[in-house]
Structure 1
Amino acid sequence: MQTALEILKKHWNHNGFRTPQNEIINSVLDGNDTFGLMPTGGGKSICFQIPALMKEGICLVISPLIALMNDQVQDLQKRNIKAIALTGGIRSDEIITLLDNCEFGNYKLLYLSPERLQSDWILERIKNLPINLIAIDEAHCVSQWGHDFRPAYLKIAQLKTYFPNIPFLALTASATKTVLEDVILQLGMKQSVLFQKSFERKNIAYMVFEVEDKLYKINQILNKNPEPCIIYVRNRKSCSDTAFQLQSLGFKSTYYHGGLSMKEKMNNMNLWMNEEVQIMVATNAFGMGIDKSNVKTIIHIQLPESIESYYQEAGRAGRDEQKAFAIILTSPSDIAQAKSQFINVLPDKKIVTQIYIKICNYFQIAYGEGINEQFSFNLNQFCQKYGFPVLKTFNAIQFLDRQGILSLSQEFSEKVTVQFIIDSKEVIRYMSLNPNEEIVLLPLLRTYPGIYESQTAINLSLIAKKSNSEESLILSVLEKLKNLDIIEYHKKNNDATIIFNEIREDEKTINRVSKYLENQNNQKIIQFNSVLKYISESKTCKSKLILNYFGENINSDCGICSYCISKKNKPTNIALVSEKIIIVLKNADFNSREIQIQTKCTQDDVIFALKILLENNTITIKPNNKYSLK
C-alpha cells in the first residue's frame, strides 16, 4: 500500500504536509474520531481525500457548500481520482445511477449536502455502501452556537448507528471553544482526537482605518500594493459600482456576486485568477475553495457580520507566507448602517409565523397539506402584496429553509438586465424629447451608475417605487428603448423556487423550531458586538483581539497590525500638529484629507491630533464629515 506522502506526491505534486495534516491523516487511519480545527487555507480537504485513497471503500463527505463540492469533484477528476457529488437539481433516477456507481464502480469519494440525509431512500442506499470514512466539512454548522447553524447537520449523528466502527472526521476553519465542544457532543464523537492549528497568521497585518473617503484610501493602498487583491462588500450593487469606480481610477478590476450567471462568474473569476485584472470586488459568495496563493491585500469596505466570517475572508491573503494585509475601512456611519443590515432585519417568532402562514396562503396550501409541492416565487411581489419588509422576509424564509421546513432556490434577485449602448448626452437628449419616459429613466440612471459600462441587473420593484409607477410601465419603456437601439435589454424568467418539505401546520410548525430562532438571533447579536469591539478597541493588538476571540491567549503583540504600527509612529509633537489644525479651522470647516493637505502633516499625525482635539471638545465633527472649531 502506498504511504500518505507517496499519494500526496503522486496526485498533488507536493513534497510534504502542512501541520497538522499528517497527524490528522494518521489519526483517521488508526480509526479514531478526529476533529481538525485548521485556519482558512490550511488544506482541510487533503485530510480526508488521502485516507480515502489509502483504504478500501469510499469516503462520504458531507458539506453545505454546493459550489465547493463541485470544485473539489472536478479537481479530483482532473487528478484521475473517481469522485461524485449529489448536489441539487439532480433527478431521482440520476441519483440512483450515481449511487449505483458508488456501490459498484470503485468510486473513492461521495460528496453530498446534509439535507440529502433527510431522504430515507438515499440514507438506505448509503447504508449499503462500503464507507471507509465520514468527513464533515464546515463542522461548525452542527452547533447552534456556530455562525452558520444548519439543523440538517444534526441528522449526521445517526450515521454512527449504521457505521459504528467507521471514524468521523470533523473539519472547520473557525470555531470557538464552545462551538467545538458542542459539535463533538452533537455528532456523538467518542474519545475524539483534537488537532488544532493556531489561528495566528504571523504574515498577515490586520489593519483598521477610520476614513472619510474610502475610495481615496483604497487608491493609496492599491498603488502601494499592486499585487492581487479582493475587496469585500455587502451587496451586489456595491460590487459593480465599486469595480467601475476603481476602473475609472485606472485599476484593472472585475466583480463577483450570487446574481451573476455561471458564465459571468467563471469569466470574471478567470480574469482575476490569471491576473488579467488586479482586483476582485465581491460579496461573501466569492472565496470558498479559491486557492490563490499570492493574494496580497483583502479590504473590507463595509463591516463583516462576525469575526468568524471576517477571519475566513481575511485568511485568503498571504497563503504564500509572504507579508499580506487584511484591512477594514470604517467611517462614522458604518455602525448604524451595519446594525440596520444585520440586527434590525433579524426576524422574530411573530413575523416568521406571519410570513410562513402568508406563503402558504399565497400558494393556496390547505392546513395539513403541501408536502413536496413546488412553486415559482417572486420575493419582491410577495412582499409588496402583504406589506412585508424585503430583507427581514428573506431572512425569515432563509430560516425556514435552514430548518428544512421548506427549500428556497435563491435566483430571484435579478430578473431584468439593462445596458445603455448610446452616449449619455444622447440619453439626456432623448429624455428632453420624451418627458413622459423621464420619470422612469432618471431613477434608473441614478440608481445604477454602471449601467453604461455593462449589463446591469435592475430591481423592477425599486424603480417602480422611485418613479411612482407600475412595473408594467417600466417594462414597456424598456421594450421601446430596446427597439430604438438605445439599450440592450434582457428579461430573464428566473424567479425563485419554493418546495414545501412538510405539511402545513402554522403555529405548530414554528413553535417546534422557535428555540433555534431565538438562539440564532442572540448569537448574531453577540457576534456583531464582537466585530464592533474589534474595530473600536484602540489599545490592543488587532491580531491579539482575533486570537482571544477564538480562545487563544498570547502575551506578545504582532508588531505589524494597525495598533502596533500606530504605537511606533505616534507624532513627536502632537501639540504642534493640533495648533496647525486649529489655525486651519479658523478659516473654514474641512475634512481630514483637506486638513492634511493644508497643514502638510502626515495622515497618521492628523488623525491622531483630530482624535485628541475631539476628546478635549476643542473641535466637533459635522454630519458632512467636516471638522469645525467649537
Structure 2
Amino acid sequence: MAKALQILQKYWKHESFRDPQEAIITNVLERKDTFALLPTGGGKSVCYQIPGIMLDGITLVISPLIALIKDQIENLQKKNIKAIALLGGISQNEIIDLLDNCQFGNYKFLYLSPERLQQDWILERLKQLPINLIAIDEAHCVSQWGHDFRPAYLKIKRLKTDFPTVPFLAVTASATDRVQKDIIENLALNEPKIFKKSFARENLAYHVIKTEDKLYKIQQILTKNTQSSIIYVRNRKSCIETAQQLNHLGFKATYFHGGLPIKEKESNRLLWMENKVQVIVATNAFGMGIDKPDVKTVIHIQLPENLENYYQEAGRAGRNGVKAFAILLVHPGDVTTTENQFKAVTVDRKFLKEVYYKLNNFFQIAYGEGFNEQFSFNLNQFCAHYNFPVLKTFNALQFLDRQGIITLLNENSEKVKMQFIVPSKEVIRYTSLHPEEEKIITSILRTYSGIFEIPTAINPIAIAKKNNTSEAVVLKIIHNLDTSGCIQLQTQNNDSSITFNEVREDDLTINRIVKFLENQNEIKSRQLQSVIEYATNETKCKSKILLSYFDEKNVEDCGICSYCVAKKKNDPEMIGSQIIEHLKTHPLSSRELENALSYSTEELIFALQILLEKDIVSLNNQNKYYLK
C-alpha cells in the first residue's frame, strides 16, 4: 500500500488514510467486490479514485448527482488526472466522440448517470473500454427502502454480465441494515467484503433546544461559540432573511442557496471558508464538497426532512476532532407546522401526471418526441404560467428526475444567444492573439454553422463537455469575444435546465412509475415521524436515537447531548444556587440569566419560581430579578 499512500500524499495532500479507507482500497486492488458504508466526511471518493489511478485502464463511476460529478471531474482535472463525464443534453455524436476519447485518450475516469445504462448502444460501447473498476456512488439509490430510490440503478447489475472479472465497489453514506441487504442483492455483488464505520461522533454534541424565540437563541449560541458556523434553513427566503438579521445583530454572515449565480455562490462560499465571515446561512444546496475542519456549530432552525439528511448536514461540524455542536431549534408549534407542510407538498398520482403533461406542453414537445432535448428552465415562471404551487411542483420534478424521466439541474446558467459581427478573417486574427481560446471558438463555429448570419442560441454546457472543460470557461471566452467587439451577445439567467431522457408518452410514463411514487410517500412519512421522535423525545440520549435509526445496537449514552447534559444538572436547587451567585452583583432579567447559565428556558423559569415562592428573590419594575 506504499504506492497508494504516495498517491494520497501527492494529489490529496493528506499524510495518512482515514479508517477504513486503506482496507477498502486494498480489497479493491485485490479485485474483490466491496461494500463501504462511510458516514458523511468519511472520504468515499478516495476509495475508488486512488485504485482508479493505480490500475491500468479506466474506472467507471456511476453517480446520480450531476453537481457532484461536475465537482469531482473539476477536482481531478486540477490534479492533471484525465476524467470525463457523459451528462444529459449532448447529442449521440458528441457522446460517441467522448467515448472515443475514453478509448484512445488514456483517460482514467468515466462518470455517468445510471440512466445512461438504459441505452443499449452505450452499453455496447462501454464493452470496448478497458474498464478496471466499477464504482457505484450513492448506492442506497438501488434500494426501494432507501431515501432516494432510482429505478435506473437496478440496471447496473447488467454490467456484472458484461464485466465478470471487474470488481464492483458500492459506496454510500446512509444505509440501514435492510437497505444494505438490498444493495448487495440488487447490484449482484459477489461475496462482497463489507466495511462499515460507526455513525458515532464522539466529539459532536447533539442538542435539541426548545425556544419561543429562535433568533435570540441563535444570538446566544453564536456569541458563546464565536468560531465558524453553518445555519441550515428550508428555503431561499429564510436563507436571505436570517443572514440579514444576523448582520443587523453585529455578526458577520453570508448565505448560500441553489438559486444564486455561480459567481455569487463561489464568492459567498470563500468568504466563509476563509473565515472572513463567522456564519453561512444555507439551504441543503450547500454541503457537497464542503470539508471545513473548524466548524464549531451547525444549527437547524426548522425540522429537517429526514434523519439521513440531518446526520449529513450536522456532521459538517467538528471534523477536526474538537468538541462541536449540532443544534436543532424547536418552537412549540413546529411539529404541527411541519406535518401540515408535509401534506401540502406531497405529490400524488394526479398532480404528478398534470405536471408531466404541462411540462411537455410548456416546451411544445409532441407525443413520441423529446428524447435528449435540453431546455433552460425557470421554475417560478412555469408555476406562475399553470398556477402550480412552487414547492409541490419542484418535488414532482425532482421525482421525475430520480426516475430518470428528466434530468433537472438546479443551478443558475446563462441562456446565450450570439452572432459574429466581424468577418471570419477577423475571428482568425483574434484566435491568433488569444491561442488559449482557439479550441472553444473553433468548436462554436463548427457546431453552429449560421452563427455569422443570425443570432444563434448556443449551449455552453454542451460546448464545455465537447472540449472537456467547464461551462464557466466557455462563458468567459464568450464574454471576452463580446468585450472585443467580435460578437453581439444576448444573455438571460435561468434557475435551472431540464433534459428529457425519454420520449413523451404521458399515461404510459406515469403508470410505469406511480408505484414508486406511492412507495416514496410511505417512506417519507415514516422518515418524518423519525424526525419528530428525535425532536420531541425527552427520555433518551439524542446520539443514541440517531445511531439506533441507523441500526447500531448496544450504544451507550453519549454524555454530551442535550438529554445527557440535562440529566446531569437539572436539579432545581443547584440551578437556584447558581442564580443566587449571579444576582449577588446586580439584578438580571430571565434572558440575561439564561445567557449566563447553560440551562433551558423551562429549567430556569422553574428554578426562579421556587426562589420567588421562598421569598429569596423578587422582581423590580424593570422585570429584573434581585436578591431580597
Give the alignment's TM-score, normalised by structure 1.
0.77
Residue aligning to 2:294: 294
Question: Is contact 1:61-1:137 (8 Å) kept?
Answer: yes
- 1:541-583 Cα distance to aligned partner (Å, 9 max, x none): 1111111000002342111111111111113339979xx9xxx
2:253 is aligned with 1:253 = yes
Residue aligning to 1:543: 543
- 1:272-291 Cα distance to aligned partner (Å, 9 max, x none): 11111111111111111112
The structure-2 alpha-carbon separation of the partners of 1:599 and 1:236, relative to structure 1 and needing over 3 Å to count, comes to: closer
Question: Is contact 2:89-2:374 (8 Å) kept?
Answer: no
Residue aligning to 1:276: 276
Q: Which of 586, 592, 603 lines up with 1:608 in the alignment?
A: 603
Residue aligning to 1:622: none
- Cα distance in structure 1, aligned partners of 2:414 and 2:337: 23
- Bigger drift between 335-344 and 374-383 goes to 374-383
The structure-2 alpha-carbon separation of the partners of 1:271 and 1:601, relative to structure 1 and needing over 3 Å to count, comes to: closer
**Aligned residues between the structures:** 528
- Cα distance in structure 2, aligned partners of 1:414 and 1:613: 59
SS of match in other structure, 2:275: coil
- Cα distance in structure 1, aligned partners of 2:575 and 2:59: 66
Residue aligning to 1:303: 303
- Cα distance in structure 2, aligned partners of 1:535 and 1:493: 39
SS of match in other structure, 2:157: helix
Question: Is contact 1:208-1:330 (8 Å) kept?
Answer: yes
Residue aligning to 1:208: 208
- The residue type equivalent to 2:260 in the other structure is L
Question: Is contact 2:88-2:372 (8 Å) kept?
Answer: no
SS of match in other structure, 1:45: helix
Q: Displacement, 1:54?
A: 1.9
Question: Is contact 1:379-1:412 (8 Å) kept?
Answer: no
- 1:416-473 Cα distance to aligned partner (Å, 9 max, x none): xxxxxxxxxxxxxxxxxxxxxxxxxxxxxxxxxxxxxxxxxxxxxxxxxxxxxxxxxx
- 1:165-218 Cα distance to aligned partner (Å, 9 max, x none): 111101111111111111111111121111001110101001110111111111
Q: Displacement, 1:360?
A: 4.0
Question: Is contact 1:59-1:133 (8 Å) kept?
Answer: yes
- Bigger drift between 231-240 and 70-79 goes to 70-79
- In the TM superposition, 1:516-531 aligns within 5 A as 516-531=516-531
Residue aligning to 2:25: 25
2:220 is aligned with 1:220 = yes
Residue aligning to 1:395: 395
- The residue type equivalent to 1:130 in the other structure is P
- Cα distance in structure 2, aligned partners of 1:372 and 1:185: 31
- Cα distance in structure 2, aligned partners of 1:14 and 1:386: 52
- Cα distance in structure 2, aligned partners of 1:392 and 1:168: 37
- Bigger drift between 379-388 and 291-300 goes to 379-388
Question: Is contact 1:544-1:554 (8 Å) kept?
Answer: no
The structure-2 alpha-carbon separation of the partners of 1:187 and 1:55, relative to structure 1 and needing over 3 Å to count, comes to: same
- The residue type equivalent to 1:323 in the other structure is K
Q: Displacement, 1:255?
A: 0.9
Residue aligning to 2:512: 512
- Cα distance in structure 2, aligned partners of 1:113 and 1:371: 16
The structure-2 alpha-carbon separation of the partners of 1:84 and 1:356, relative to structure 1 and needing over 3 Å to count, comes to: closer
The structure-2 alpha-carbon separation of the partners of 1:50 and 1:365, relative to structure 1 and needing over 3 Å to count, comes to: closer
- 1:44-93 Cα distance to aligned partner (Å, 9 max, x none): 11111111122111111112222322222232233332222334455554
- Bigger drift between 503-512 and 126-135 goes to 503-512
Residue aligning to 1:119: 119
Question: Is contact 2:547-2:555 (8 Å) kept?
Answer: no
Question: Is contact 1:58-1:110 (8 Å) kept?
Answer: yes
The structure-2 alpha-carbon separation of the partners of 1:382 and 1:240, relative to structure 1 and needing over 3 Å to count, comes to: closer
Residue aligning to 2:244: 244
The structure-2 alpha-carbon separation of the partners of 1:9 and 1:341, relative to structure 1 and needing over 3 Å to count, comes to: same
Residue aligning to 2:191: 191
- Cα distance in structure 2, aligned partners of 1:74 and 1:165: 30
Question: Is contact 1:378-1:412 (8 Å) kept?
Answer: no
- The residue type equivalent to 2:160 in the other structure is K
2:167 is aligned with 1:172 = no
Give the alignment's TM-score, normalised by structure 2.
0.77
The structure-2 alpha-carbon separation of the partners of 1:595 and 1:12, relative to structure 1 and needing over 3 Å to count, comes to: closer
Q: Displacement, 1:492?
A: 4.1
Residue aligning to 1:585: none
Q: Displacement, 1:242?
A: 1.0
- The residue type equivalent to 1:21 in the other structure is Q
SS of match in other structure, 1:239: helix
SS of match in other structure, 1:3: helix
The structure-2 alpha-carbon separation of the partners of 1:324 and 1:59, relative to structure 1 and needing over 3 Å to count, comes to: same
- In the TM superposition, 1:107-506 aligns within 5 A as 107-363=107-363, 365-372=365-372, 377-410=377-410, 492-494=492-494, 497-506=497-506
- Cα distance in structure 2, aligned partners of 1:97 and 1:366: 29
Identical amino acids, percent of aligned pairs: 61
SS of match in other structure, 2:494: coil
Residue aligning to 1:566: 566
- In the TM superposition, 1:74-85 aligns within 5 A as 74-85=74-85
- Cα distance in structure 1, aligned partners of 2:369 and 2:13: 55
The structure-2 alpha-carbon separation of the partners of 1:31 and 1:181, relative to structure 1 and needing over 3 Å to count, comes to: same
SS of match in other structure, 1:604: coil
SS of match in other structure, 2:36: strand
SS of match in other structure, 1:573: helix
The structure-2 alpha-carbon separation of the partners of 1:54 and 1:576, relative to structure 1 and needing over 3 Å to count, comes to: closer
- In the TM superposition, 1:567-586 aligns within 5 A as 567-573=567-573
The structure-2 alpha-carbon separation of the partners of 1:80 and 1:576, relative to structure 1 and needing over 3 Å to count, comes to: closer
- Cα distance in structure 2, aligned partners of 1:314 and 1:575: 30
Q: Displacement, 1:247?
A: 1.0
- The residue type equivalent to 1:60 in the other structure is L
- Bigger drift between 549-558 and 527-536 goes to 549-558
Q: Displacement, 1:374?
A: 5.2
Question: Is contact 1:412-1:496 (8 Å) kept?
Answer: yes
Question: Is contact 1:86-1:113 (8 Å) kept?
Answer: yes
- The residue type equivalent to 1:48 in the other structure is Y
- The residue type equivalent to 1:152 in the other structure is A
Question: Is contact 2:262-2:412 (8 Å) kept?
Answer: no
- Cα distance in structure 2, aligned partners of 1:311 and 1:530: 13
- The residue type equivalent to 2:542 in the other structure is K
Residue aligning to 1:11: 11
- The residue type equivalent to 1:237 in the other structure is K
The structure-2 alpha-carbon separation of the partners of 1:89 and 1:294, relative to structure 1 and needing over 3 Å to count, comes to: farther
The structure-2 alpha-carbon separation of the partners of 1:332 and 1:558, relative to structure 1 and needing over 3 Å to count, comes to: same
- The residue type equivalent to 1:321 in the other structure is G
Root-mean-square deviation (CA, aligned residues, Å) is 3.1
Question: Is contact 1:540-1:563 (8 Å) kept?
Answer: yes
- The residue type equivalent to 1:294 in the other structure is D
Question: Is contact 1:544-1:553 (8 Å) kept?
Answer: no
- Cα distance in structure 2, aligned partners of 1:151 and 1:367: 23
Question: Is contact 1:204-1:324 (8 Å) kept?
Answer: yes
The structure-2 alpha-carbon separation of the partners of 1:600 and 1:308, relative to structure 1 and needing over 3 Å to count, comes to: closer
- Cα distance in structure 2, aligned partners of 1:413 and 1:388: 23
Residue aligning to 2:437: none
- The residue type equivalent to 1:61 in the other structure is V
- 1:364-407 Cα distance to aligned partner (Å, 9 max, x none): 55544554455565544544454433322222222222222334
- Cα distance in structure 1, aligned partners of 2:214 and 2:389: 29
2:32 is aligned with 1:37 = no
Residue aligning to 1:626: none
SS of match in other structure, 1:134: strand
Question: Is contact 2:306-2:530 (8 Å) kept?
Answer: yes
SS of match in other structure, 2:599: helix
Question: Is contact 1:259-1:414 (8 Å) kept?
Answer: no
